Structure 1
Amino acid sequence: MSTSGMVYIVGAGPGDPELITVRGQRLLAEAEVILYADSLVPRQMLSVARADAEIIQTANKTLEEILPLMVARVQAGKSVVRLHSGDPSLYGAVHEQMQALAQAQIPFEVIPGISAFQAAAASLKVELTVPGLVQTIILTRISGRTQVPEGEELAALAAHRASLCLYLSARHVEDAQAKLLTAYEPDTPVAICFRLGWPDEQIWTVPLSEMASTTQQQELIRTTLYLISPALKLEPGHSAARSRLYSPDHSHLFRPRAGSH
């Protein structure tokens, strides 16, 4: 299938070149033009790009500068990849790009990617939805330059005591910690995840009461995700409630009860 004359908005994943979808990697390898957020996507992600691909860095550009570049290349019949960090549906400023492309009558597709919270859980070797302990994941941020709606204030979301994944909040970590402490116990584990998927990835797991001080000691101000979850309290071998999915006393469509027909 030809990829010419189209913009593909591709989620690059958290930073590891191997944590991109097969389709995303194929489109990246075929693209004649690649616009990528160079402040958030490591250059190594472009290792599969064609030698003759036009590479355009966008960290220093506004949407009003980026859009004409995409429009002109598509109108010239070229295949264009707009490479975003993580998954395009999360904090990627993709909504306005899609609107602008649609208004310019430029065809586009969106290719999902792995988000930082998924990479964090994998690195930590935890399941964020443990039966009998936690069954909800909240992805959010604290108000900063971008205000969150009143009903989504961090203290209100923390009240659910779910697995809470906090993006884009390192610059406001003291405020975030104070709001989280209104619901979570001070000794609740918090994983502070810096540059997940990058060669210099680092993760510190500390009590919630030390979330702000650790962030400040490590001088973290960006590319940092906080993961607050009851699941982080579980030690290997802990007898948490077991999922019934693979339990021998649980029958379902694909595994009828022994003796049944």
Structure 2
Amino acid sequence: MSKVHFVGAGPGDVDLITLKGYKQLSQADVVIYAGSLVNPALLDYCKEGAEIYDSASMHLMEIIDVMEASVKAGKDVVRLQTGDFSIYGSIREQTEEMKKRGIVFDCTPGVSSFLGAASSIGTEYTVPEVSQSVIITRMAGRTPVPDRESLRSYAQHRTSMAIFLSIQGIEKVVEELVEGGYPSTTPVAVIYKATWPEEKKVFGTLETIAEKVTEAGITKTALILVGDFLGQEFYYSKLYHEEFEHEFRHGKSSHAQ
């Protein structure tokens, strides 16, 4: 039976699409890709003769109409979105419309850009005794954010934070975070197009990052990472400590000399 496959393309690097996603993309008869966000080089994986649509110029019902007509014609469809379609991918409105029309679909997740960004700078969001939680959020813009989820309210926790879709308002982001509780010395990393060939990395603190971002000319498609996980304070995990026992290791490792 023909169906629609939602496929997460990954954060940018074409090799970071999952194996399952690659197989679905390479076998699809019809591909509808988010042209403003997805690396177009991924289309090289499509088979010869595949119908390709750029959804950047399409509204919701046009997208759904193509999906419905294609499935009814016995064609498999891939809706190629960013690796973040489970976070900020507008997937719900598409799946709800397909349910109304009886279109069969499934979802294959991709690698999120917030994971690609952390990997790009060789860090992790959780550090023992520093931070064990991650807040993924955005600043209000054309899409509103509930007051209870404001950056200022989240900042009081001073935990690790990955802020999407907000780089155009970096000065306001900084203001909200500092007013909410982060010290102005809190480290910040801004990653533009994480894992893409044109990736840029800017490092600073809440006191300096806005000026550095402006100097770098970054105005869109960037993640703002905030928190002491980016700092110099570090404690080793208990997991690999030679005295730490668990189900698979008892006592000191036999490899210890």
Matched, 1:181 2:178: yes
Within the candidate set 25, 39, 42, 1:42 is matched to 39
- The within-5 A match list for 1:25-36 is 25-36=22-33
Counterpart CA distance in 2 for 1:227 and 1:204 is: 10
Deviation at 1:170, TM superposition (A): 1.6
| 1:56-205 matched pairs, under 5 angstroms | 56-182=53-179, 183-205=181-203
Q: 2:187 & 2:206 partners in 1: Cα distance?
A: 6
The separation in 1 between residues aligned to 2:208 and 2:97, in whole angstroms, is: 43
TM-score, structure 1 normalization: 0.93
C-alpha distance in 2 between matches for 1:222 and 1:84: 18
After TM superposition, give the deviation of residue 222 of structure 1 in Å: 1.5
RMSD after superposition: 1.4
- For the pair 1:231 / 2:237, whether they are aligned, the reply is no
How many Å apart are 1:131 and its aligned residue? 0.6
Q: Which amino acid aligns with 1:12?
A: A
Paired residues in the alignment total 252
Task: Please give the alpha-carbon distance, in whole angstroms, between the structure 2 residues aligned to 1:115 and 1:24.
Answer: 14
> Residue 211 of structure 1 aligns with which residue?
209
Q: CA deviation at 1:218?
A: 2.7
Establish whether residue 250 from structure 1 lines up as the match of residue 248 from structure 2: no
Residue 220 of structure 2 is matched in structure 1 by: 222
Task: Tell which deviates more after alignment, 241-250 or 12-21.
Answer: 241-250
Q: CA deviation at 1:221?
A: 2.3
Runs of 4 or more off by more than 6 Å in structure 1?
none
Task: Give unpaired runs (5+ residues) of structure 1.
Answer: none
Taking structure 2 as the reference length, the TM-score comes to 0.94
